[in-house]
């Protein structure tokens, strides 16, 4: 099936190309006039908006043919209009190599719309290009099948893996970058996989681990310091209580209680890193 750009599609191009009544010189030669029309040779005369609109229809015709030839799936009129505007803006070669075309031919209309956001230049036209891509994207999605979009209170039924896959399909450059990154070799205790962590085995023997986790020496030193601090508080409180009166009893208890708490926390921490015995499989 062959498509033709509609009046709405042409209006979109007119809006973002802008109207130039008088020819303006181009850096590479030629003259820009009307709605993005390029004159070669002499500058020529001024144009009215009607004349410029007629020239635009002629200029858009080659891009209609390019999009028609490149499409391998049926599209809605609004999608075709957006694709012609996009091709008119980026040029034939860039359109044919774009993720927009690849995704729409793969049947991924939403991914194709998302791909329109890429490729904005960082120059004086960046703001205008972002606005144009947004308008083309909106036109592309105008006749897309509607569905309720989950709010913050309603979670999507898609799994996180499915959502990540959809994002990566829409951003192939990011996907390629992630796939080429080496896996980290340090700082990872255990990979999240369906396999249990490997256990050292000796037939018929028990394999004890070292009493303390010397790989976390700073943590052990801190626990030991906490233990000594708690002991000092406890000893100080006990010395006040022994042989004292009621006031001394209260003061000693107030000093000894934090000491007992510190000793308990330090002891629990050291016990967590203490010796364990693992049974080996026969």
Q: How far apart, in whole angstroms, are the C-alpha atoms of residue 66 and residue 90? A: 13
For the chain, the farthest-separated pair of C-alpha atoms sits apart, in whole angstroms, at: 113
The 10s digit of each residue's pLDDT in 151-170 is 555 555 665 666 666 666 66
More confident residue, 217 or 137: 137
The CATH number covering residue 126 comes to 1.10.530.40
Determine, yes or no, domain membership for 260.
yes
Residues 18 and 125 in one domain: yes
Determine, yes or no, domain membership for 210.
yes
Question: Of 107, 122, 140, which closes a domain?
Answer: 140
Which pLDDT does position 236 carry in this prediction? Answer: 73
The 10s digit of each residue's pLDDT in 83-111 is 999 999 999 999 999 999 999 999 999 99
Beta-bridge mates of residue 277: 208
Residues 133 and 244 in one domain: no
* Annotation marks residue 278 as catalytic: no
Q: How far apart, in whole angstroms, are the C-alpha atoms of residue 56 and residue 13? A: 9
Name the domain count of the chain: 2
Residues 42 and 122 in one domain: yes
Which pLDDT does position 74 carry in this prediction? Answer: 95
Determine, yes or no, domain membership for 199.
no
Question: What are the C-alpha distances in Å from 169 to residues 57, 119, 120, 163, 175?
Answer: 34, 16, 19, 10, 7
Which one from 17, 64, 103, 136 is the annotated catalytic residue? 17
CB 1 within 8 A of CB 71: no
Question: Of 113, 140, 167, which closes a domain?
Answer: 140
Question: Of 90, 113, 140, which closes a domain?
Answer: 140
Residues 15 and 134 in one domain: yes
The 10s digit of each residue's pLDDT in 222-249 is 777 777 877 887 777 677 767 666 666 6
Structural domain for 228, as ranges: 206-279
Q: Where are the alpha helices (DSSP H) in the chain?
A: 7-17, 49-70, 77-90, 92-96, 99-105, 109-115, 126-140, 160-170, 172-179, 217-241, 246-272
Q: Among positive and negative, which fits the CA dihedral 7, 10, 12, 16?
A: negative
Determine, yes or no, domain membership for 155.
no
Report the pLDDT averaged over residues 194-204.
40
Q: Which two tokens stand for residue 219?
A: 């943590």
Q: Say yes or no to pLDDT of 276 above 80.
A: no
- Interaxial angle between packed helices 246-272 and 217-241, expressed in degrees from 0 to 180 and rounded to the nearest 10: 160
């Amino acid at each position: 099936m062959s498509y033709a750009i509609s009046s709405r599609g042409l209006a979109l191009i007119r809006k973002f190309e802008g109207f130039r009544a008088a020819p303006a010189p181009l850096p590479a030669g030629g003259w820009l006039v009307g709605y993005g029309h390029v004159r070669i040779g002499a500058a020529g005369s001024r144009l009215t908006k009607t004349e410029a609109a007629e020239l635009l229809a002629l200029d858009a015709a080659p891009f209609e043919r390019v999009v028609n030839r490149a499409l391998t799936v049926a599209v809605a009129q609004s999608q075709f209009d957006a694709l012609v505007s996009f091709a008119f803006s980026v040029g034939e070669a860039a359109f044919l190599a774009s993720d927009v075309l690849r995704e729409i031919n793969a049947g991924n209309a939403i991914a194709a719309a998302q791909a329109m956001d890429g490729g904005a230049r960082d120059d004086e036209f960046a703001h205008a290009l972002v606005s144009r891509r947004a308008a083309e994207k909106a036109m592309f999605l105008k006749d897309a099948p509607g569905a309720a979009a989950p709010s913050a209170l309603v979670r999507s039924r898609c799994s996180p893996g499915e959502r990540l896959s959809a994002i990566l399909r829409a951003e192939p450059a990011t996907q390629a970058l992630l796939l080429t990154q080496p896996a980290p070799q340090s700082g990872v205790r255990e990979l999240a996989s369906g396999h249990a962590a490997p256990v050292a085995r000796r037939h018929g023997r028990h394999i004890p681990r070292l009493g303390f986790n010397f790989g976390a020496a700073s943590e052990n030193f801190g626990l030991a310091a906490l233990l000594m601090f708690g002991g000092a508080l406890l000893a100080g409180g006990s010395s006040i209580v022994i042989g004292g009166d009621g006031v001394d009893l209260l003061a000693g208890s107030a000093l000894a209680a934090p000491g007992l708490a510190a000793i308990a926390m330090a002891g629990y921490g050291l016990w967590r890193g203490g010796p364990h015995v693992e049974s080996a499989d026969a």
